[in-house]
């Protein structure tokens, strides 16, 4: 496969809104690959409404509000690809391995998910095959195609979190998360003084101990590519203007961090950690 053919498998996914994964700008010149596992609140018809109440149907439990908009803004600014799930995290959480209970949670924070109770193995397998595998395969194919072409991908995964969790208010506004490979997170945190009005914290409001670094481990560390997970408080993503402002703030940290990473050597691989429970 020549480099010019390397993105051919994505042509279908770019345009098909019924596909479980969205791949935007696969041919982008930038080396970053933006992931958005919790981009969508869509629950495919075959799963009904999972037994959710109307009030919970669009809550942060179902998706990460604003995360796709920030992901897309970053991808546009960096001329790089974005890969986003088109299915709700409550059907399958693409940032969890299939063996993690939180991959198809029957309870998330204070919300019950009746449609996920007593799932048998066949039902679990169907969701793995129809939601998780296509997402992972899209990411893997893009990374492999770029590495094959001698390029050095960098992984940035974008999430949002609720300002109040289990009744506790969170002060952190931007979380910079990492697992064993902290190169990109360290470089971004070194730039935090450029946003003095923001509360920016390392591995907050979640960290690797919460099982939220599955994508970083699987697609970043195992491939030896620099990676970071961004968590943005969702009250700061209330409308399109706010989403764009936040994307620009993230770029204030990310652009100089990427510049400093260019000469970095690949990280060693690390074993995957079992996914835990959180709303990350």
Question: CB-wise, 13 or 36, nearer to Zn ion?
Answer: 36
**Backbone CA torsion sign across 58, 251, 154, 170:** negative
The least CB distance from residue 264 to Zn ion, in Å, is 26
Note whether 38 binds Zn ion by CB under 5 A: yes
Q: Is the dihedral of CA 94, 213, 255, 32 positive or negative?
A: negative
Q: Which two tokens stand for residue 14?
A: 């770019």
Nearer residue to Zn ion within complex by CB, 225 or 232:
232
Rounded to a whole number of angstroms, the minimum distance from the CB of residue 58 to Zn ion is 15
Under the criterion CB under 5 A, does residue 159 sit at the interface with Zn ion?
Answer: yes
Cβ atoms of 274 and 100 closer than 8 Å: yes
Range in contact with Zn ion (rule: CB under 5 A) among 33-41, 135-143, 167-175, 236-244: 33-41
Stretch that binds Zn ion, among 27-35, 60-68, 166-174, 182-190 (CB under 5 A): 60-68
Span from 11-19, 64-72, 105-113, 220-228 in contact with Zn ion (CB under 5 A)? 64-72
Binding status of residue 96 toward Zn ion by CB under 5 A? no
* Residue number with the smallest Cβ distance to Zn ion: 159
Residue with tokens 């809104």, as numbered in its chain: 17
| Shortest Cβ 280–Zn ion spacing (Å) | 5
Q: Using the structure block, give the residue that is written with the tokens 């296509």.
A: 134
Per-residue contact string for residues 104-143; x = within reach of Zn ion by CB under 5 A: ----------------------------------------
Residue 242 tokens read as 């706010």
> How many residues comprise the chain?
280
Number of chain positions touching Zn ion (CB under 5 A):
3
Separation of alpha carbons 210 and 203, rounded Å: 10
Given the complex with Zn ion, which of 146 and 214 has the nearer CB atom? 214
For residue 78, the number of C-alpha atoms closer than 13 Å in the C-beta half-sphere is: 30
Query: How far is it, in rounded angstroms, from Cα 51 to Cα 270?
Result: 38
According to the binding rule CB under 5 A, does residue 60 interact with Zn ion? no
Token pair 């190169």 in the structure block, residue = 183
Within the chain, where are the H helices? 11-15, 54-57, 67-78, 121-127, 133-148, 183-189, 214-215, 240-261
Q: Please name the helix (run of DSSP H) or strand (run of DSSP E) that holds residue 107, with its range, or none.
A: strand 107-108
- Specify the stretch interacting with Zn ion by CB under 5 A; choose among 35-43, 55-63, 99-107, 109-117: 35-43
* 64 makes contact with Zn ion (CB under 5 A): yes
Cβ of residue 223: shortest distance to Zn ion, in angstroms?
21
Q: Which residues bind Zn ion (CB under 5 A)?
A: 38, 64, 159
């Amino acid at each position: 496969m020549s480099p010019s053919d390397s993105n051919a498998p994505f042509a279908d996914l770019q345009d098909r809104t019924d596909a479980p994964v969205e791949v935007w700008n696969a041919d982008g010149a930038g080396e970053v690959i933006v992931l958005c596992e919790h981009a969508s609140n869509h629950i495919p018809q075959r799963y009904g409404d999972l037994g959710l109440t109307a009030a919970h149907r669009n809550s942060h439990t179902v998706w990460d509000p604003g995360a796709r908009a920030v992901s897309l803004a970053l991808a546009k600014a960096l001329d790089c690809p974005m890969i986003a799930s088109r299915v709700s995290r409550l059907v399958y959480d693409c940032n969890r391995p299939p063996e993690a209970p939180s991959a198809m949670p029957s309870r998330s924070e204070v919300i019950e998910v009746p449609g996920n109770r007593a799932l048998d193995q066949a039902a679990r397998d169907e969701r793995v095959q129809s939601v998780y595998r296509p997402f992972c395969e899209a990411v893997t194919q893009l990374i492999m195609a770029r590495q094959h072409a001698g390029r050095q991908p960098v992984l940035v995964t974008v999430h949002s979190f609720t300002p109040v969790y289990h009744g506790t208010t969170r002060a952190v506004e931007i979380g910079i998360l990492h697992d064993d490979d902290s190169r990109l997170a360290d470089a971004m945190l070194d730039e935090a003084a450029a946003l003095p009005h923001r509360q920016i914290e390392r591995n907050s409001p979640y960290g690797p101990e919460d099982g939220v670094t599955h994508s970083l481990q699987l697609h970043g560390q195992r491939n030896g590519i620099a990676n970071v997970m961004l968590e943005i408080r969702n009250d700061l993503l209330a409308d399109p203007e706010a989403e764009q402002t936040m994307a620009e703030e993230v770029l204030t940290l990310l652009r100089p961090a990427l510049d400093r990473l260019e000469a970095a050597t690949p990280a060693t691989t690390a074993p995957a950690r079992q996914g835990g429970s959180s709303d990350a």
